[in-house]
Amino acid sequence: MFSDYEAFFAPGRVNLIGEHIDYNGGYVFPCALTIGTYVFVKKRDDDKLRFFSLNKTRFGVKESNLKNMEKGIKTESFADYPLGVMYTLTKNNYPVTSGLDLVFYGNLPSGAGLSSSASMEVVTAYMVKEMFGYDLDFIEMAKLCQWSENNFNGVNCGIMDQFASAMGKNKNAIYLNTNTLDYSYVPVPMDGISLVIANSNNPHKLSDSAYNTRREECSKALLQLKKVLDIKNLCDIIPDEFEKYRDVIEDEVVRKRAKHAIYENARTKEAVKVLKEGDLERFGELLKEAHMSMKDDYEATGKALDTLFFEAIDFDGCIGSRMTGGGFGGCTVSFVKKERVREFKKKVGTAYERKMGIRAVFYEMEIGDGPSKKDSKVIYDLIKSPKFLDIVKGEMKKYF
């Protein structure tokens, strides 16, 4: 079915610590995952751009063309994420110069906060780089993908998601200064430990959530602190300075948002330090503190994530846990002793379903690399359900 297509992959990401500070000039600590978004592509002899999602077969093909893409005309569908990247690359001297048939498949849980949008953006950018032979480095790729999501899709995200997807490295997290984009790779010691992501099945949607409101509140706090401090970003401030000048921020809610960003930045720095020292116990405590800050100061967790968090940290084999991603739904990330993972899933999952009335889904994850080219036959290894594959074949026959 895909024998005449080229195939590319870009990972999703999980942020280990450093939440909602990538737009406040602070440090984040994400890692790429081994799951993400695949795109199967072949060039066309005309100017049509045709987008098909194996995850959304009922929507059929969404169609555009090179002229509409260059004008920034949207399809008002999932296709606007890859289309926005093509528009952005074309405007920055990496043009898409022929029509394309594009078939997307993602194995990231939808709406879980694992950056499915960034994964789709990065795989599109990487595909354009490879298909059209451009010398586009991965940091520039991340910047252009962020610009696309901000300006084409209207989601005011920071750089972390795209950077983590583009720059991922196996068995390493990325210690990233979001103000300067200086970064280093930090090995994550996982001997006897599993990285367990729990999907609350309470999806978030950043474009119509409180995400942009939180950014605005941080901007207000920064403007007021600039009256007494020579700073460019909230995360230029250390906690002691914040405590000294916190009353400059008149609104209590805005003050709490600033407190989260400033203290979270300090927690991230310490987390990297103790992880390098092999102090997993302190690292776990910092994860817990990070969640409580997101709950109490940033108010971006909610009942579903809080339930998963409290059940996790009450489990004896859990080293640390917290919500991850934009919040307002999505996932938690937990470090769990490997021999206790099955018991962890059962205990936390049972308690969550009893309290929330919905089931959580657990994923034992590995830390993976950034984007890559794949064998086009990989789709047969990804899609395990014969029934689903029959649906896909039927839909493909209609359109391709």
Domains of the chain: 6-187+370-399 (3.30.230.10), 190-208+300-365 (3.30.70.3170), 211-294 (3.30.70.890)
pLDDT at 203: 66
Q: Which residue among 101, 161, 236, 297 is the active-site one?
A: 161
Handedness of CA 71, 72, 75, 79 (dihedral sign): positive
pLDDT at 246: 97
- Give the position of tokens 């298909």: 131
pLDDT at 192: 93
363-387 pLDDT per residue, tens? 999 999 999 999 866 666 665 555 5
pLDDT at 207: 41
The yes-or-no answer on residue 316 being catalytic is no
- Alpha-carbon dihedral of residues 329, 335, 340, 342, nearest 10 degrees? 30
pLDDT at 328: 79
195-231 pLDDT per residue, tens? 999 999 986 554 446 778 898 999 999 999 999 999 9
Select from 7, 1, 6 the least CA-distant residue to 36: 7
pLDDT digit string (tens) for the chain, length 400 residues = 566 889 999 999 999 999 999 889 999 999 999 999 999 999 999 999 999 988 876 667 899 999 999 999 999 999 999 999 999 999 999 999 999 999 998 888 776 778 889 999 999 999 999 999 999 999 999 999 999 999 999 887 889 999 999 999 999 999 999 989 999 999 998 889 999 999 999 865 544 467 788 989 999 999 999 999 999 999 999 999 999 999 999 999 999 999 999 999 999 999 999 999 999 999 999 999 999 999 999 999 999 999 999 999 999 999 999 999 878 788 999 999 999 999 999 999 999 999 999 999 999 999 999 999 998 666 666 655 555 556 556 655 665 5
Interstrand relation of 30-43 and 6-15 (parallel, antiparallel or unpaired): antiparallel
User: pTM to 2 decimals?
Assistant: 0.90
- Give the position of tokens 């984009």: 181
The tokens for 299 are: 């108010």
